[in-house]
Structure 1
């Protein structure tokens, strides 16, 4: 079963512009950006991991095994990536502005899942929002919406 999931993700990751660097799927790019936020404070909390699973499952409608494989690959990509260019450019190419704003909102949600505001997570989200061309106003609106849900 794991082999078939790995083949699925490998098929989605056909050769990219550079022969030594495989292309990545939109799902993997999105997950890698979210993992970047989760790992920004150098601590992966169980509540952050649970919310990451929930957000990715809801966004991409993946089965448990495929979801776990996506998270594993995203962690690998986030931990070994030199920069965010591959992830951000793919997301910008396929997500419209509202979807990119929603991604920033998801980042805020993940950063606050452990009940702590960490300056490294905020810095990472700010930088990613800029790279995704999300306005500062929408960046702040997403932050406020996640800090005070239901109000």
Structure 2
């Protein structure tokens, strides 16, 4: 009987929740996720590094950082491209904090212990769009490679 009712009146899947409007916090997380996805391998080490960065940057507990990352993953997948995220960051975040984002992105890209051309290309494009100087981009890369 239940089976017949289910066929006659199938349950509708709930509509997906609308994505939040990107702000600096979500844009930062989405950019970190975008760097991690650039090589088509989203590894646990990269996820953990993103969570630590979000936790440290925004003073979040680990679970809250993981929830924020999950929102950023959805936003990265379904939201506007990198130029929109970097525009938000340039408008709302001081240069020193954007520079720190460059360091954070390199730590995510190298969290899996390997260098990848696609991640590095994506990362350098984001750094340029954030308005970072060549010197600051080189310093971020060097610092990350020293930790590798």
TM-score normalized by the length of structure 1? 0.80
Alpha-carbon contact 2:55-2:65 (below 8 Å) kept: yes
Cα offset, 1:66, TM superposition = 2.4
User: Which secondary structure state, in structure 2, belongs to the residue aligned with residue 148 of structure 1?
Assistant: helix
Q: How far does the alpha carbon of each residue in 1:85-124 deviate from its partner, in whole angstroms, 9 at most, with x for none? A: 3311111112221111110111111111101000000001
Instruction: Give structure 1 stretches of 5+ with no counterpart.
Output: 1-9, 11-19
Q: Aligned ranges for residues 125-140 of structure 1 at < 5 Å?
A: 125-140=123-138
C-alpha change, 1:22 and 1:57, in structure 2 (3 Å) is: closer
More contact order relative to length (CA 8 Å, sep ≥ 6): 2
- In the aligned structure 1, how far is the partner of 2:69 from the partner of 2:44? 14
Which residue of structure 2 aligns with residue 7 of structure 1?
Answer: none
Question: What is the aligned counterpart of 2:26 among 12, 28, 40?
Answer: 28
| Unaligned residue ranges in structure 2 (runs of 5+) | 1-16
CA displacement at 1:21 relative to structure 2: 8.1
How many residues align? The count is: 132
Cα distance in 2, alignment partners of residues 80 and 46 from structure 1: 21
> How many Å separate the matches in 1 of 2:85 and 2:72?
10
Q: 1:131 to 1:140 in 2, by over 3 A?
A: same
Normalised by the size of structure 2, how large is the TM-score? 0.81
Q: Among 70, 73, 88, which residue is 1:72 paired with?
A: 70
Q: Helix, strand or coil for the counterpart of 2:85?
A: helix
How far apart are the structure 2 equivalents of 1:62 and 1:68? 9
List structure 1 segments (4+ residues) > 2 angstroms apart after TM superposition: 20-23, 63-66
Q: Is the 8 A contact 2:86 2:130 kept in 1?
A: yes
Quote the offset at 1:22 in angstroms.
5.3
